[in-house]
Structure 1
Amino acid sequence: MSFETIIVEKENGVARITLNRPDRLNSFTEAMHIELAAALDDADSDADIRAVLLTGAGRGFCAGQDLADRAVSPGDDRVDLGQTVEKFWSPLISRLATRDKPVVCAVNGVAAGAGANVALACDIVLAAQSAKFIQSFANIGLIPDSGGTWVLPRLVGQARALGLALTADSLSAAKAEEWGMIWKCVEDDALLTEAKALAERLAGGPTRGLAATKRAIRGSLLNDLQTELDYERDLMRELGQSEDYQEGVAAFMEKRAPQFKGK
């Protein structure tokens, strides 16, 4: 597939997708939304791809919406931002959060506005030491969309979520790790190496079980304990019949590395 706003590279079971508008801090246009959706769908349908790595080109990960793509000035006709959210941003967050294949995000610089929440929709987030997360919506009179109002209080608590959202202050990668907002903060020059290694590790894992783990953990936020216990029972029953479970047990007993196939 040919793209203009993203780069897709496939290697060792991983689809590495790079947002590629570095001159605009990889801010999203309608074209980028369409291309990223196509790339994610392609990764889903490609049996050789078992994990996704998302990152950005240049000095930033993503600055969110490219305001020039829907420019508005005082006196102009009003724009329907809800339509933009409904057509593009909400489906993107759902694609990232609910797909079966693991998604690793490598935040290589500023992640602002919806760009920050795109990162937080991924399964595991690594960020460079120099990276910053900014819920910049308050600076233009908006709310944290793209799942921001849902994910932030669940990751960092209501007090910190409100502080980030109302002040639009930047949060360093180190502080984001300390607060439990991301998985790990790493040295800038080690970011892609670590992220690639992690994505390849997940791609070589029991991806059927990983997908079930994702569904269980994300769904638990809306379940009571008994509902979650019942769901765990059902998933264990299903996964206990899988080839990966049989291989995992055999490898353990034989003291060798397992060879998972995602079946």
Structure 2
Amino acid sequence: MPRSHAHLARLFVEPDLAAGGNLTLGKDQSLYLAAVLRKGVGDEVVLFNGRDGAWLCRLTGDSKKSVTLEIIEQIAPQTPKSDFWYGFAPLKSERLDYVVQKAVEMGVGTIQPVMTQFTQVHRLKPDRLSANAVEAAEQCEVLNVPEIAAEISLDRLLADWPETHGTRTLLFADEGEASSSPVAALERLAGQSIGLLIGPEGGFSDAEREKLHAQPFVIPISLGPRILRADTAAVAAMALIQAIIGDWR
């Protein structure tokens, strides 16, 4: 997005966006703009919906219950959806929020909670996961909000993988691997569809590691000589993937 628009508030909306259109926001977003950000008639904001790019819009009504806007012009084209799949064993509260937000910032296309033997959290709130993904996209000028896939057990994920993911390779951060650089292993996967699986605090159980190693579509990687927290491991692995074979190139 041009830097001249970088200072404007950004909101994710569901309706289609096109020049000359008009839009009325719901109560929560109207309250946010009118009461929290104190936006009034004539002020500009940026709207995006994950399909039509980013659009400069101008407030034509500033009621705290229903802000209305005129859609002026597209200021950034829609970016294609990322093919990067990220699965993780859910963590507790703030750290769960953190990994979802960082996955959005790192360009993940699909986020899926995966239940493992040592998973700490077993009751998720999908709405909270989605809200965190939207908030991260709004703050970081991301035009694609990742899909939040339904939680799944590790056993079911592996059993269904060939059918649901085709030829996608699944990388998993394996604490049991001898410390080594993952660069060479990743370079061999250039141009392929990639998935990343991060386990819970305490790692995968021995039985889970054995099952993962037995799958022909799974490649274990080391993240170096230090034991990383699950949220740190996720960010480190996503950064490596994007830098070596992803869209940072």
Shorter-chain TM-score tier:
under 0.3
> Which is strand-richer, 1 or 2?
2
- Normalised to the residue count of structure 2, the TM-score between the two structures is 0.23
> Which is helix-richer, 1 or 2?
1
Q: Say which one has the larger Rg.
A: 2
